[in-house]
Structure 1
Amino acid sequence: MPWDKDASQCAQFDRVFLVLGNHEFYGISREDGLKAANALEVEPQLLGKLSVLNQSRVDINRRVTIIGCTLWSYIPKEYQLWVRMKVADLSRINDWTVENHNTEHLQDVQWLQQEIHNISLEEDRRDLIIVTHHAPSATKTVDPKHKSNPWGSAFCSDLLESQVKSWRGSKIIHHWIFGHTHWNTKFRQHGMIISSNQLGYDSRGSRAPRFFNYWFPQSGQDFVITKTAKV
């Protein structure tokens, strides 16, 4: 895992928040990936600037809190064969199965729901920013021409449509930031701002595999390195 090559980037910022995506576990197991992330977080050269968001909470100040997790998606039984054929996670992550994927999804969802409720009880005027790798919705978070792909469940969940609005304390969610879909967007739903600013595979350069040039033609083209979220 080449995270050590990126460590110098932390020096450019006061704080850096790392949400683990599927690629962080390629070539190793999820367990080993988490160990590596935890070790990176406490590297002395990073001066405490890096926070790994793996079912984690960070209070920025008395008003703003960030919570984050991977939010692995849920893959229904009828699409599992498609996902096995089209999505590399199941072959590139050691000992990773659809069952693991779905179990982690349920655990992340349960944690998010409870954490949001807990924070709202502490202070209902607090603004909450959620950061996940996988998208919390299949609506407006992917390129419309790929929305009906039968393997799309590997990229996003339907939490915004089916669950989040009914969660206790959800009114404190100000921003939900996501990645993974190679589609940059910003919209408002249930009173919160949903946004992504993904570099992904930059199809303008040579580092994008041909597969991604075809399926994700927008990747990298509208990534804005100076983009910020105002709270």
Structure 2
Amino acid sequence: MVVNIALASDLHIELSRSRVPIPDFHPDTDIIILAGDITNSGKKTRNGFERTFEALRERYQQPILYIPGNHEYYGSMLEHQDDIVADLGRKYDIQLLQKRYTDYQDIRFFGCTLWSHFLLNGSEELPWAIRAAERSLADYRAIQYKNGLIKARHTKELFEEHFAWLSDAVRQCPSNIKKVICTHFAPHPVCTAPEYQGDELSPYFINNLDDFIAETKPSAWLFGHTHYNIDTNVHESRLVSNQLGYLRETTHFEPQKLITL
């Protein structure tokens, strides 16, 4: 059976000040994947999770799978936010996939934020990659974790936790089921925008999971976070992002795009 997947991420609805801006997905969509950075619970956020979920459900009846991005935790305690959003999602029949999977037709969708291992440029560059991220990125000033601000070592630990879950879950998947991995953080160096090749912050945005992709061969890996859209193949697996990004960014977001598997 053919399944038409609509993918969107990095909508940053938390920045909107009027009605909730919901993408105009293709009418043939069977299932909607929201791959993170959709909205948050920040004090200045007008269109938070409830208004966003309500607007989505007013417009679409299809199954909606929601994978949290880093921005979902802004203004919140990371340890508690997943439970809060999952509970609210159940009210609107929107399923949060955080270290969870769900089956639809003949596809198993695996979801987690993933976070970063900071090893894009090699282990010898790890200390500098961590230092650059903490110095420059808002995550480390906007997310609470373990009674303080989150640190880069925490997000690296979260990557290890998320990737361990993902590795086990994917390897245990029956061979007759198509595997689609949905994360917010990017899985492969090919996901790097040309202008950020070699950038000191790229190890925060991009992981190098080439060996894992080659071994497990998911049908597709859907992601966001980079504000750079691609649709390409790596080791017979399709890597796709469809990100809106910030106002005045040119990401070539395609709300009508369908990923057909």
2:113 corresponds in structure 1 to: 70
Deviation of 1:78 after TM superposition, in Å, equals 2.1
Verify the 8 A CA contact 2:114 2:184 in the aligned structure 1: yes
Query: What aligned pairs does 1:50-199 form with structure 2 within 5 A after superposition?
Result: 50-61=94-105, 63-75=106-118, 76-94=126-144, 95-119=149-173, 123-139=174-190, 141-160=191-210, 162-166=211-215, 170-171=216-217, 173-199=218-244
1: CA distance, partners of 2:244 / 2:99: 23
Q: Taking structure 1 as the reference length, what is the TM-score of the superposition? A: 0.83
Structure 1 gaps of 5+ residues are: 204-216
1: CA distance, partners of 2:80 / 2:163: 22
Deviation of 1:128 after TM superposition, in Å, equals 1.0
Name whichever structure is richer in helix by fraction. Answer: 1
Q: Does 1:230 align with 2:222?
A: no
Verify the 8 A CA contact 1:10 1:16 in the aligned structure 2: no
SS of residue in 1 equivalent to 2:156: helix
Query: What aligned pairs does 1:206-221 form with structure 2 within 5 A after superposition?
Result: 217-219=249-251
Deviations 1:90-145 (A, max 9, x none): 111113111110011011111111111111xxx31211111100000122x12211
Verify the 8 A CA contact 1:137 1:156 in the aligned structure 2: yes
SS of residue in 1 equivalent to 2:233: strand
Structure 2 gaps of 5+ residues are: 1-40, 42-47, 119-125
2: CA distance, partners of 1:58 / 1:15: 11
2: CA distance, partners of 1:13 / 1:135: 28
- Give the counterpart letter for 2:64 in structure 1: V
1:33 corresponds in structure 2 to: 81
Q: How many residues align?
A: 202
Q: Taking structure 2 as the reference length, what is the TM-score of the superposition? A: 0.74
1: CA distance, partners of 2:224 / 2:131: 24
Higher relative contact order (CA 8 A, sep 6+): 2
2: CA distance, partners of 1:10 / 1:118: 33
Deviations 1:15-41 (A, max 9, x none): 111110010000112112112212212
Verify the 8 A CA contact 2:100 2:111 in the aligned structure 1: yes
Between the aligned residues of both structures, percent identity stands at 23
Deviation of 1:13 after TM superposition, in Å, equals 3.1
Verify the 8 A CA contact 2:78 2:143 in the aligned structure 1: yes
